Amino acid sequence: MHTLTTTLSAIPLWVYPLLFALTLLGRRAQKDRSSPVALIYALPLLGLLSLNRALDLGEVATTALLMGWSSGVFAGYILQPYWTLSRSGNRVELKGESVTMVTVLALFTTNFAAGMAQGMAADLSASVAFGLVYGVFSGVLSGSLAGRALFIARMPVLRTA
């Protein structure tokens, strides 16, 4: 029990509101909706958490993150037409889907787990295998959000009368 309370007390306070906000965002994404384009453009900023963590884990993790990110951008760009209906002005019409929730929560969980590993099992988190798996996985996830934003940025904007 002592280890659990020690672990929980070491979690930064900003983690809880972020988890709550990401969960709300994911729940909202499961319904058809009209979203501000700025929100879609802001989601790739979650990748900065991964970049920061990868830089701490070393060059293998950072290189793997960049390679995974490139693949994720491609996948996000290719898959986005399935969920994007139209763009009008500063808003975009999106179909409900669970991919957003899975992506943002998996990205959050991956970064959280990597941080826990760094704090509790430093030799494990310093291994090449850990850096490689972390980098590729978090890179693909964060890259897919960037690919989505790129697709929406390149969409034709419908003019309203």
Mean pLDDT calculated for residue range 32-39? 94
Digit-coded pLDDT (tens) for 86-126: 999 899 999 999 999 999 999 999 999 998 888 888 899 89
Q: Which amino acid is at 125?
A: S
Q: Please, what is the Cα angle at 159 between 158 and 161, to 5 degrees?
A: 140
Question: 53 or 11, which is more confident?
Answer: 53
Percent of the chain with pLDDT over 90: 69
Q: Which residues contact 74 (CB under 8 A, 6 or more apart)?
A: 143, 147
Place of tokens 């890179």: 139
To the nearest 5 percent, what fractions of the chain are helix, strand and coil? 75, 10, 15
Q: Is pLDDT at 61 greater than 70 in this prediction? A: yes
Mean pLDDT calculated for residue range 27-51? 92
Q: Which residues contact 29 (CB under 8 A, 6 or more apart)?
A: 94, 96, 97, 98, 99, 100, 101
